[in-house]
């Protein structure tokens, strides 16, 4: 396979001026990442600061309600509230050891921005966060958290004013500031080596979950593993150690928006086609003329017209299946998990939970392990609309 | 020798810098665009760069981005560009180049794109998101049609990487004057000189300097180190303020 590719997908479709920092990063992955110093410090941070291993929770009430065994991998219990912190501490430490002083990031829901800000504070670095102006309004609690912890926040007014445009602007900033700045990319997408690098830091999710599940079930594996897919980092982290287990069905859940035919959505694997954006060849929401279409989801963290290349590949070879859940189904799951289990999921993760609810008949009697990628505190503003 | 190379040579042999103006296709509107192109041609442009609008132009600064997005909103696409260019084939003295990003070209189909470039009299292509590593499939599709993939290099390009680009390069080499996007600087940094000299030694095609260039006075320092100058943002702003392309080109003549 060509370097930086997953089958047909991946690559490095970026301006030449960004190749030197990408090559520098790739070298750091080969030299610094495997070093004992890095590994020791990283594992210690995950334990001491993030709270890993995160719990595996059996949902007693919902399992009864649905007629299946529902398990949650609790990334919502991580410090700062989502899986994003695994990646930002990893990239932050790597950048620090590369001699960088600034962590630059884009953010949609704000969770990656918060996690980058935490990493910067812990590592005595500066955080610069690009966020679509629309998302700045939608996810105000996270903006406040970032401000409190000292991040410089840039509200992006161009384009659709969401994650896609935040990525464009962050790439421009990185072009200009590449000497001191590491672009702490927030998901398993973008140009090589980001998809591999982010997966490396997120695979801890399935490494833990697989062992925890087997410990609780006398060595059995789950029948189905489910995760929501925005850029695809929590999903690839959740899938990785199950990929060789042929008996385990892998389900990625994309956001269908309102779900009406032709509506704006965030489901490139289901409703998109092959193309090139943000440094990678992948599945995209685009017009016939190759212009990127606006995306939509009630969950800002899923609101992205592309997806990490490894997911496009897993879909291509039939190893993972990608389905859609619409806004209302996700909101229903948001409320249901809160009421039945006392766990408030992020709207992003609610899409994954909704898969189990909506497919309860087909899943009857099976064990379904859902990655709860984050907690819903940031989404409480939306309650005014639904309750 | 590629047509762009010849046109830049024509200028340098007369002791001048080759002029490479850039305008997004369909800017400032469909009709005016062709008038601007004719004016630029008459005013002695060596190569004219025509922008193919894209929704997510990460290498462009605010002026170019805004102009391109406006063209996009007006429905400008590759079909329009090729249809109009074919109708005008042979009318331009300058060599013509298309500049943009991969995805619209990829969706158009690279084979069809190469053939249409030839039919429309295009002799060069810049794709801002194609580094050396991903360039082969693009070259395979366009080079048989006499279209050169113009390499972009910059202040952070090592000599080794310059050599990768120099192998089989034709047309000209585009040297980006800043670490950043188009149109965002006033003063060109001094270390450009050193890097230009390096590029001069590596490439046997002309070197064009671009990004942030608005007047000939800026270039005096780089005499002998470059063969051509690209200007986009400054020209777009000039036209937006109601002035003519001919007027913009005058100080360079
Ligand atoms: C809680 C949560 N889950 C999921 C995502 C989606 O991202 P990814 O698919 O990269 O994990 C986000 C993104 O912001 C998020 O905040």
A111 C-alpha to ligand 1 centroid (Å): 8
Model pTM score = 0.96
The size of the A-B interface in CB pairs under 8 A is 105
Q: Is A17 on the interface with B (CB under 8 A)?
A: yes
Rounded-to-integer distance, Cα A72 and Cα A70, Å: 7
At B160 the pLDDT is: 98
Average pLDDT over residues A60-64: 98
At B46 the pLDDT is: 98
Which of B24, B51, B53, B59 best probes binding to A when mutated, by most A CB atoms within 10 angstroms? Answer: B59
Contacts of A20 in chain B (CB under 8 A): 156-158, 161
Check pocket membership of A229 for ligand 1, CB cut-off 6 A.
Answer: yes
Least CB–CB distance from B107: residue in A159, A165, A290: A290
Which of B131, B154, B157, B181 best probes binding to A when mutated, by most A CB atoms within 10 angstroms? Answer: B131
Average pLDDT over residues A82-93: 98
**Mean of the per-residue pLDDT values for chain A?**
97
Lowest mean per-residue pLDDT among A178-182, A213-217, B213-217: B213-217
Residue pointed to by tokens 């509107």 = B29
Question: What does the pLDDT look like over B129-146, one tens digit per residue?
Answer: 999 999 999 999 999 999
Rounded-to-integer distance, Cα A82 and Cα A187, Å: 12
At A387 the pLDDT is: 67
Least CB–CB distance from B107: residue in A14, A178, A289: A289
Average pLDDT over residues A290-314: 96
Interchain pair B134, A11: CB under 8 A: yes
The Cα-based distances of A287 to A35, A126, A270, B69 in angstroms read 45, 38, 15, 15
Higher pLDDT, B204 or A381: B204
The answer, yes or no, to whether residue B253 has pLDDT greater than 80, is no
Residues of A forming the active site: 59, 83
pLDDT band at A138 (very low <50, low <70, confident <90, very high): confident
pLDDT band at A1 (very low <50, low <70, confident <90, very high): low
Which of B60, B71, B103 best probes binding to A when mutated, by most A CB atoms within 10 angstroms? Answer: B103
Rounded-to-integer distance, Cα A277 and Cα B107, Å: 12
**Mean of the per-residue pLDDT values for chain B?**
95
At A385 the pLDDT is: 73
Rounded-to-integer distance, Cα A311 and Cα A298, Å: 22
The answer, yes or no, to whether residue A237 has pLDDT greater than 80, is yes
pLDDT band at A76 (very low <50, low <70, confident <90, very high): very high
Rounded-to-integer distance, Cα A105 and Cα A93, Å: 15
The answer, yes or no, to whether residue B186 has pLDDT greater than 70, is no
pLDDT band at B48 (very low <50, low <70, confident <90, very high): very high
Calculate Rg over the CA atoms of chain A: 19
Is residue B204 part of the annotated active site? The answer reads no
At A371 the pLDDT is: 99
User: Ligand 1 atom 12: the closest Cα is on which residue?
Assistant: A301
Check pocket membership of A231 for ligand 1, CB cut-off 6 A.
Answer: yes
What is the least distance, in Å, from the CA of B249 to any CA of chain A? 29
Alpha helices in chain A (DSSP H): 19-31, 36-45, 60-66, 84-97, 111-122, 133-138, 140-148, 163-177, 194-202, 204-216, 233-239, 268-271, 309-316, 327-341, 347-358, 383-386
pLDDT band at A101 (very low <50, low <70, confident <90, very high): very high
At A144 the pLDDT is: 96
Quick count: other Cβ atoms within 10 Å of Cβ A300?
29
Average pLDDT over residues B84-103: 98
Interchain pair A289, B59: CB under 8 A: no
The answer, yes or no, to whether residue A297 has pLDDT greater than 80, is yes
Helix (H, G, I), strand (E, B), or coil: what is residue B210? strand
Ligand 1 pocket test, pick from A75, A78, A83 with the greatest ligand atom count within 8 Å of Cβ, gives: A83
Interchain pair A11, B133: CB under 8 A: yes
Q: Is B176 on the interface with A (CB under 8 A)?
A: yes
Rounded-to-integer distance, Cα B182 and Cα A384, Å: 44
Question: What does the pLDDT look like over A185-208, one tens digit per residue?
Answer: 999 999 999 999 999 999 999 999
User: Ligand 1 atom 14: the closest Cα is on which residue?
Assistant: A301
Instruction: Specify burial of residue A182 (Cβ count, 10 A radius: 0-12, 13-18, 19+).
Output: buried
Rounded-to-integer distance, Cα B83 and Cα B76, Å: 11
Question: What does the pLDDT look like over A356-370, one tens digit per residue?
Answer: 999 999 999 999 999
Least CB–CB distance from A176: residue in B102, B103, B180: B180
Note the ipTM here. 0.96
């Amino acid at each position: 396979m060509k370097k930086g590719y997953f089958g047909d997908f991946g690559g490095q479709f970026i301006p030449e001026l960004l190749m030197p920092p990408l090559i520098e990063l790739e070298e750091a992955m080969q030299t610094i990442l495997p070093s004992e110093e890095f590994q020791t410090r990283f594992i210690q941070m995950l334990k001491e600061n993030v709270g890993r291993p995160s719990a595996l929770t059996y949902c007693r009430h919902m399992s009864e309600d649905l007629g299946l065994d529902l398990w949650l991998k609790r990334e919502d219990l991580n410090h700062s509230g989502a899986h994003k912190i695994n990646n930002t501490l990893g990239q932050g430490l790597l950048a620090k050891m590369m001699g960088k002083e600034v962590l630059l990031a884009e953010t949609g829901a704000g969770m990656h921005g918060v996690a980058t800000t935490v990493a910067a504070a812990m590592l005595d670095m500066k955080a610069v966060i690009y966020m679509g102006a629309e998302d700045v309004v939608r996810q105000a609690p996270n903006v406040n958290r970032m401000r409190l912890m000292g991040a410089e926040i840039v509200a992006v007014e161009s384009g659709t004013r969401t994650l896609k445009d935040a990525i464009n602007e962050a790439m421009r900033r990185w072009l200009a500031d590449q000497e001191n700045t590491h672009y702490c990319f927030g998901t398993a997408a973008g140009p090589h080596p980001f998809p591999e690098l982010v997966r490396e830091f997120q695979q801890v999710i399935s490494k833990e979950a697989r062992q925890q599940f087997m410990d609780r079930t006398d060595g059995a594996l789950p029948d189905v593993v489910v995760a929501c897919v925005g850029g695809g980092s929590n999903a690839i982290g959740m899938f990785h150690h199950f990929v060789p287990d042929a008996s385990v069905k892998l389900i990625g859940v994309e956001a269908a928006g309102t779900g009406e035919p032709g509506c704006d959505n965030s489901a490139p694997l289901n409703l998109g086609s092959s193309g090139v954006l943000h440094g990678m060849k992948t599945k995209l929401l685009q017009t016939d003329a190759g212009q990127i279409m606006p995306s939509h989801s009630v969950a800002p963290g899923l609101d992205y017209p592309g997806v990490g290349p490894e997911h496009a590949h897993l879909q291509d070879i039939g190893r993972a299946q990608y389905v859609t859940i619409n806004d209302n189904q996700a909101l229903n799951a948001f409320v249901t998990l809160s009421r039945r289990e006392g766990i408030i999921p992020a709207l992003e993760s609610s899409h994954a939970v909704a898969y189990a609810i909506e497919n309860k008949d087909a899943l009857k009697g099976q064990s379904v392990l859902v990655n709860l990628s984050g907690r819903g505190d940031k989404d409480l503003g939306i309650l005014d609309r639904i309750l | 020798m590629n047509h762009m190379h010849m046109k830049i040579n024509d200028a340098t042999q007369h002791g001048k810098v080759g002029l490479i103006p850039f305008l997004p296709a369909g800017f400032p509107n469909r009709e005016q665009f062709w008038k601007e192109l004719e004016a630029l041609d008459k005013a002695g442009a060596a190569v004219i760069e025509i922008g193919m609008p894209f929704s997510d132009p990460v290498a462009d600064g605010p002026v170019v981005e805004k102009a391109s997005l406006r063209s996009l909103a007006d429905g400008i696409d590759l079909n329009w560009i090729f249809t109009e260019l074919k109708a005008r084939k042979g009318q331009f003295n300058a060599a013509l180049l298309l500049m943009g990003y991969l995805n619209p070209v990829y969706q158009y189909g690279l084979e069809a794109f190469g053939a249409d470039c030839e039919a429309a009299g295009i002799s060069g292509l810049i794709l801002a998101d194609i580094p050396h590593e991903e360039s082969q499939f693009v070259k395979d599709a366009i080079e048989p049609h006499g279209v050169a993939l113009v390499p972009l290099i910059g202040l952070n390009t090592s000599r080794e990487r310059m050599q990768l680009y120099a192998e089989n390069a034709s047309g000209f080499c585009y040297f980006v004057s800043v670490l950043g996007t188009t149109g965002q600087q006033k003063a060109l940094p001094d270390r450009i000189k050193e890097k230009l000299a390096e590029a001069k030694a590596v490439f046997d095609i002309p070197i064009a300097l671009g990004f942030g260039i608005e007047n000939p006075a800026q270039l005096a320092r780089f005499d002998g180190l470059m063969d051509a100058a690209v200007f986009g943002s400054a020209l777009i702003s000039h036209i937006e303020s109601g002035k003519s392309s001919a007027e913009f080109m005058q100080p360079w003549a």
